[in-house]
Amino acid sequence: GQNIDQPTEMTATEGAIVQINCTYQTSGFNGLFWYQQHAGEAPTFLSYNVLDGLEEKGRFSSFLSRSKGYSYLLLKELQMKDSASYLCAVREGNYQLIWGAGTKLIIKP
Amino acid sequence: DVKVTQSSRYLVKRTGEKVFLECVQDMDHENMFWYRQDPGLGLRLIYFSYDVKMKEKGDIPEGYSVSREKKERFSLILESASTNQTSMYLCASSLRSDSYNSPLHFGNGTRLTVT
């Protein structure tokens, strides 16, 4: 069946590095997305991976291993504004995205 | 920047009422989606549309219908609202289906409470 797993909640310290993992089992794969969602706001796009490896975009990087059904989002030099939920989603076919429940990241000073 | 606008941020309706949620996007996107978001669950797809007057059921279409008469507008209809439809509703749009890396652009959501 289809399944995407992420930790429910993580806590990290301002200025540190945090890695948010996502494992997936889907019947098809046309790429994996990461979104950020601040409380009460809409999700916003962070990254897309379709090939194995690391994609770096400023303080945020995303990694994909298709053979392991695994991705992670790496956040460096954490800032208080990074406190948010991070959503992992797999594009299974042409339209459908399968979503994880999201990881709530709490940043402490 | 893509803008997806949902007509209401908060709505309170009574059980049995017919409810309309409106969504408009300004970037000529082919695809539009309606999701609901509940605590502890991932986004769940209610309906989507890949062209004007076209609609496809998502994972949880029961109790809902949609309308897409114009490319920029996608409406979600709760035929007879029930308390288990209390939720955050998110509208999204994206470019055509063969652009696999095309992300979804979301509206700010409508928090619907059915009493």
The minimum CA-CA distance between A85 and chain B, rounded to whole Å, is: 11
> If you search the block for the tokens 């298709």, which residue do you land on?
A66
pLDDT above 70 (res A40): yes
- Chain B residue closest to A8 (CA)? B40
Report the pLDDT value the prediction gives residue B95, as an integer from 0 to 100: 86
Report the pLDDT value the prediction gives residue B42, as an integer from 0 to 100: 83
Cβ contacts of B56 on chain A, cutoff 8 Å: 95
Specify whether the CB–CB gap between A14 and A83 falls below 8 A: no
How would residue A92 be classed by pLDDT, with cut points 50, 70 and 90?
confident
Cβ contacts of A30 on chain B, cutoff 8 Å: 100
Q: B23 pairs with which residues across the strands?
A: B6, B74
Tens digits of residue pLDDT in A46-90: 999 999 999 999 999 999 999 999 999 999 999 999 999 999 999
How many residue pairs from chains A and B have C-beta atoms closer than 8 A? 54
Alpha-carbon distance A15 to A77, whole Å?
4
